[in-house]
Structure 1
């Protein structure tokens, strides 16, 4: 009904004046429809009092008020927003990272040179700032290209990448190494967040065959292809991150059928892989059984980690090169930090991580754009699975696998981590600048 009054020249001119004050063009249509609805009610009242149409419209416009002032008020309501809480938490993580990297450098000066490490951090923070000012909805149309591009890079890395520690996950660009499989969970989950939104915006087909076909396609895309690539490169840690993060995204998106279908498919793939690779089966389940039984060889890293944590005390023992902590400069960094700086420092890391998880979850739930919601959940899931698995691993509560602290231990993959947080900040920045009737593809 409100659209019928939009054709009136006086109303159109009034709305043009209002919208000219609002810089967020994406919400202009919503503003026009909302004001037109109020005008239509006023015009109806005036017509009932005996006025002619033009007179009723003129008086209704006067009753609405000065269009310039209304436009300025609406502009104030639809300006970019900044989540200072999340920025503050990121700043805390950066400070923790700097302290941690200095500690790592002291522990192993040859392995960790501060120059290259801080360079990656600077690039990552720059990428975060850039992504914050990018319209995240432009990424929506790139969801499928991003997914297939990530898969293609993973395949190329599988065949042509550099093998490090028995796994082909790296590509080398000059002297710079980039772990493609470390970045892949972020890229895949961001792409899948867009795909889920695109499917939600489309009308659900009524035909059972079509629904089954879409479900089968999603199982192949979400489970079979990524899990197969992780298995082929023995990227068990990255596969675990991807599977857990995908489960969180699907769970919070209400995709119960997909959770069940992808879970069954992933379990089947994993079982077949073990049957085809008996050595892998023996090693994997041997380690799991040894961990459950607390065999000394299987829990050696956990034992040394817990010894270091217990020795740290409240304020730590200082930077000690002689302390024995396996992988102190990577997987067990949290243990070394607690040993060096005490449980106060460790508590700051844990509390900051919890607060970041809570803040990311709240941001996702407060965003009215479904795509932004899924995007934030995807980033939150990957970051928090990495963070909390690593901490629990150092505490001996979960098995030790190759999983590092995100945002704190800087390397080439840190660029992707900060860029992903930039997307979250960008989504929040535009939370009041997105139309309620925004098209599926901007």
Structure 2
């Protein structure tokens, strides 16, 4: 019986669907209602009731279409994560306060320093991008995963070969007046692409030979990770390599990859790391930093100078600190990588505790979001981005006390990071987009 051709049923379904804003679930709702109507009509027909009468009674039995539509809309409506938005608002305000305090302190050494106004501009652009992405359908990005992957690799190579030299590294792309450290941005883009690739890689292609199937699996499981890893390491960016690899490992765990493949990833990647690093003269510099971390009391005026100055700033702060924009000429890069000890120096240990609490709330809430998402692609996106943020939040804090090796990690949304901060807001937008559609995408998947 083709119910969809019956005029009364078409009109009934149209009225129900008009009350459901999420058009993505219209097909599923239509199929569900048609199934219920089919069962009711067949039951009435078996009792000898005429078809037209059975249809009318079935529609009447279903209930008012506006009430049915409202119920479906309540279940499948897009969600806004107000808790995460509130956390981001606190981070933004704290970040602006921190950067303006750093500007006041830096003005004694660098006249006309305007990092505060730059932070305002980058924050406004970042928030606008975050909100725009949050309303977009993140699943549309999945079909461009391979394009995003290879495009990122090409830009990585271009940045390394032709980018501006900063601190001896070829990585900065000049776009107008903005210099982008694309190597530091590449983990975000590659992980976005891997989420789409890995969440669909289990699909077996028809008429594919065993050898081709194995070659494809090896490439998908290893090649697509090793290639960007080598390029990032060749750019001497250990920090970006670390967050990229951790993001990959977390994504594999979330997607419930086989243990053998997961272990193979780790062993093969570590082999690649050693091979690349042992051929680099830059290795001696990294070994020096690691040695300094393991021996914090040695060479206080050399390799351990920054660590010692960070500890002194924290110890001298007390509960209330030295005040807004207090001079701290002994600690370099306190507006970016060493913002955590600087904030404690200015506002006291209470400021450090507050930041720690905000970070814990962010991590806990992000984990809660991940548990509520059932779409594999969305889950992979959230888990990998969360891994990136956890490292970037925790490492600078541990580094300030000498509990982690010195690195170029900066606290997201609080430290001054220039244009890089805009992309971190965009990453939050992706998380918000996944959360917004968490009650829509699973329904679609079930209907297929």
Q: If the length of structure 2 is used for normalisation, what is the TM-score?
A: 0.90
Are 1:307 and 2:312 matched, yes or no? Answer: yes
Partner of 1:91: 89
Query: Secondary structure at 1:402's aligned position in 2?
Result: coil
- Give ranges in structure 1 of 5+ residues lacking alignment: none
> Which structure 2 segments of 5+ residues have no match?
none
Write the distance in 2 (CA, Å) between the matches of 1:178 and 1:22. Answer: 43
Compute the RMSD of aligned alpha carbons.
2.5
Q: 1:136 matched to which residue of 2?
A: 138
Alignment match, 2:326 = 320
Instruction: Name the residue aligned to 1:266.
Output: 269
Give aligned pairs, total.
437
Q: How do residues 16-35 of structure 1 correspond to structure 2 at under 5 angstroms?
A: 16-35=14-33
Q: Deviations over 1:167-219 (max 9, x none)?
A: 1121112332111112111111111111122224x347897545532332124
| TM-aligned CA distance change 1:257 to 1:54, over 3 Å | farther
Aligned equivalents of 2:40, 2:238: Cα separation in 1: 65
Deviation sequence 1:60-83 (CA, Å, 0-9, x none): 211101223322332343332211
For residue 127 of structure 1, what is the aligned residue in structure 2? Answer: 129
Q: Is 1:193 equivalent to 2:195 in the alignment?
A: yes
Instruction: Give runs of aligned pairs for residues 29-108 of structure 1, distance below 5 A.
Output: 29-108=27-106
> Offset at 1:394?
1.3
Residue among 363, 380, 400 paired with 2:369: 363
TM-aligned CA distance change 1:440 to 1:123, over 3 Å: farther
Q: Secondary structure at the match of 1:431?
A: coil
3-state SS, counterpart of residue 348 of structure 2: helix
Q: Is the 8 A contact 1:107 1:329 kept in 2?
A: no
Rate the CA distance shift 1:361–1:133 in 2: closer, same or farther, 3 A: same
Question: Which residue matches 1:403?
Answer: 409
Q: Is the 8 A contact 1:89 1:352 kept in 2?
A: yes
1: CA distance, partners of 2:125 / 2:117: 12
Q: Distance in 2 between matches of 1:5 and 1:196?
A: 40
The CA deviation at 1:284 is 2.8
What residue in structure 1 maps to residue 161 of structure 2?
159
Confirm or deny that 1:285 pairs with 2:281: no
Alignment partner of 2:171: what SS? strand
Q: Secondary structure of 1:436's partner? A: helix
Alpha-carbon displacement from aligned partner over 1:128-177 (angstroms, at most 9, x marks no partner): 12112222122111211111111111110011100101111211123321
TM-score, with structure 1 as normaliser: 0.91
**1:386 & 1:177 partners in 2: Cα distance?**
21
In the superposition, relative to structure 1, how do residues 222 and 439 fare at CA in structure 2: closer, same or farther (>3 Å)?
farther
**Deviation at residue 382 of structure 1 after TM alignment:** 1.2
Tell me if structure 1 keeps the 8 A contact 2:96–2:116.
Answer: no
Aligned to 1:416: 423
- 1:366-405 to structure 2, matched below 5 A, reads 366-405=372-411
Equivalent in 8, 13, 17 of residue 15 of structure 1: 13
Structure 1 range deviating more: 205-214 or 426-435: 205-214
More off after superposition, 25-34 vs 255-264: 255-264
Deviation at 1:287, TM superposition (A): 3.3
